[in-house]
Structure 1
Amino acid sequence: MARIVRFHRHGGPEVLHIETVDVAPPGRGEVQIRVKALGLNRAEALLRRGTYIETATFPSGLGLEASGIVEAVGEDVAGFVPGDAVTIVPPLSMVRWPAYAELATFPAELVVKNPPELGFETAAAVWMQYLTAYGALIDIAGLGRGDVVIITAASSSVGLAAIQIANRIGAIPIALTRNSAKRRALLDAGAAHVVVSDEEDILARLEEIAGPNGVHVVFDAVGGPAFEPLTASMSPGGILIEYGGLSPEPTPFPLLSVLTKSLILRGYLVHEITRDSERLARAKAFILDGLADGALQPIIARTFRFEDIVEAHRFLESSEQFGKIVVTI
């Protein structure tokens, strides 16, 4: 028996309940983990509300990131034994492999031994944010030294990961945030420049910062009206990678900028990386090297107890956080 978070209908944080259920042993090729910490993601709030790319089957579990200790291994699993400290690469389906539980089971290929320099709370904050940012900036956009990159929703865990990755390779990260309350924190986190979208002329500021060469890469989680000034600031042949849709307003298609500058506008999901073994291996190597040399350092906004999962989800949807929300068990 183990405690697990489930929901029986779509809705707000209040639909989440902790229930005690029987947990099956791991199957062939699977690893079962006694979870010590969870990393929270907006995808989990979307699944809970019924607006995610995956459909919940009630009663549904949820969760994409966990760290803990190997409890048991299934047949044909090599490289892991009970007692190993591990963390999880986000699975393709959180309905099939939910992480919000005292005991959680995952495919062995998604289990990674914890870097020795990381505790459970920090380890739970690693893979979603860095894989998402790495896949967009390095794997797809080919961001390089001296390139200017705009990072929207910059105070999110993925935004902060993108800032750190850009700095690690010598690119120039420009953080876009809605108000000036987080300006100082973003600069301290490594942003070369901060643009406040609700208080400044976005295009004028970006042209001032990037100069005549313009912005090579835009890494956007928002969409909405900002699409037009963002693409207008880009250099010829630049690439905009869209990985979210936080804006409640329509997103215009910037036809003139796309045509005159031969821009690439590309949708992106982290699953592109996690379901391709070769790309995932390269991403893991980059991230683990960055953690080891200190260039990549997860920023934790706040830690909650497992019993306070409803309050943790309320905070997740408040947009007040700076970095990752972690839940401990």
Structure 2
Amino acid sequence: MNTHDRAVVFHEHGGPEVLKFEPAVDRPLRSGEVRFAVSAFALNRGDLMFLRGEYYTIPELPSRLGSEAAGIVTAVAPDVTDFRVGDRVSSLPFFTVQHGVQGTTATVPADYLAPTPECLDDIEACSIWMQYLTAYFAFQGASRVEEEDTVLVTAAASSAGLGALQVASLLGARTIATTRSTAKAELLRAAGATAVVHPGSRSLAATIHEVSGGRGVAVAFDSLGGDSLNGYAEHLAPGATVLGLGMLSGRLPTIPMAAMCRAEAVFRPFSLFNHMARADERRSGVEFVRKAVLAGLRPRIGATFAFQDLVAAYHAMESNRHVGKIVVRCPASEGVENSL
């Protein structure tokens, strides 16, 4: 391992300011693990919740952070046969207390690593899995999006929202995107939105009626929480699924029971990680994304930051001014470790 390798570590819960750059721990690889030199890693809102001790997995302090990175394999455990030193790879979304990929080197289970398609650079490679696997499992696992269904995506300018628009379009669905920014409307249409609802546009109700031909929303991909569902509950298709992905509003979702009962709709809390934990689903999701990328699917990169500007990168995420993924570039690693 390069003696100059650094890991992003936190010793206490808090905001981005508690993050520190520390020497990476040079420990022997455990069974099934792969180490790689990181050239770029992507930020996700879940990182901030993990940092504050509010996520699905509670960190054991001190802890590393992050689950999406790309780079080159530098070492493999003896029982790993799918990867070799020198392979270009990117890590799949996961949250454990033992692993974290933000830094100049990362060690992850081989089950949560994928070969990087030749058509992607490392900035793109570290930006595809979270958003596209979230959308895939939302639309082909937690719900079943069919061709010509109408899919509603709230907070659609987020990286998860953009991924949902792109994947729903690949599945043949009609998509309605919501955003608080009129300036982002064209970007959302370019990402596949059939229609965009924003301040000054037609109402959400009128848009749903027009796009769905009066049938209503079959699947809602709702990251807002709070009162968001109340804005479209009366316009759900019979048997609709509402996927609760987050609380960007800062509040738990409220459920309008009468409207949900009339539509015989289901509200389903959704987490990508429930699906990623199952090997068969993980493989099917990775294969779907791989084929889509080879056919031309690309992530939108909202901004890139230098390694030393990581805290500023997280503040940029918190500002909600960007559209697409925020990626941090790492200094080039020197030397390659021998296979173990």
TM-score normalized with structure 1 length: 0.95
Deviation at 1:198, TM superposition (A): 8.3
Cα distance between partner residues in 1 of 2:198 and 2:19: 35
CA contact (8 A) 2:24 2:105 kept: no
Which of 268, 277, 280 is 2:279 aligned to? 277
Deviation at 1:253, TM superposition (A): 1.5
CA contact (8 A) 2:150 2:219 kept: yes
Change (3 A) 1:137 1:210: same
Counterparts of residues 216-295 of structure 1 (less than 5 Å)? 216-249=218-251, 251-294=253-296
- CA distances 1:192-244 after superposition (whole Å, capped 9, x unpaired): 10012687643343234323211111011111112112222111111111111
CA contact (8 A) 2:57 2:95 kept: no
Counterparts of residues 1-329 of structure 1 (less than 5 Å)? 1=3, 2-93=5-96, 95-196=97-198, 201-249=203-251, 251-294=253-296, 296-329=297-330
Q: Secondary structure in 2 aligned to 1:311?
A: helix
Which stretches in structure 1 are left out of the alignment for 5+ residues? none
Which stretches in structure 2 are left out of the alignment for 5+ residues? 331-340
CA contact (8 A) 2:150 2:211 kept: no
Deviation at 1:75, TM superposition (A): 2.0
RMSD of aligned residue pairs (Cα, Å): 1.5
Amino acid paired to 1:68: G
Deviation at 1:179, TM superposition (A): 2.6
Cα distance between partner residues in 2 of 1:25 and 1:259: 55
Cα distance between partner residues in 1 of 2:252 and 2:23: 42
Percent identity over the alignment is 37
Amino acid paired to 2:189: L
Deviation at 1:156, TM superposition (A): 1.1
Change (3 A) 1:226 1:278: same
Change (3 A) 1:197 1:151: farther
Give the ranges of 4+ consecutive aligned residues of structure 1 lying more than 3 Å apart after TM superposition.
197-201
Deviation at 1:246, TM superposition (A): 1.1
User: How many residues end up aligned between the 2 structures?
Assistant: 327
Cα distance between partner residues in 2 of 1:47 and 1:77: 29
CA contact (8 A) 1:176 1:197 kept: no
Cα distance between partner residues in 1 of 2:142 and 2:42: 25
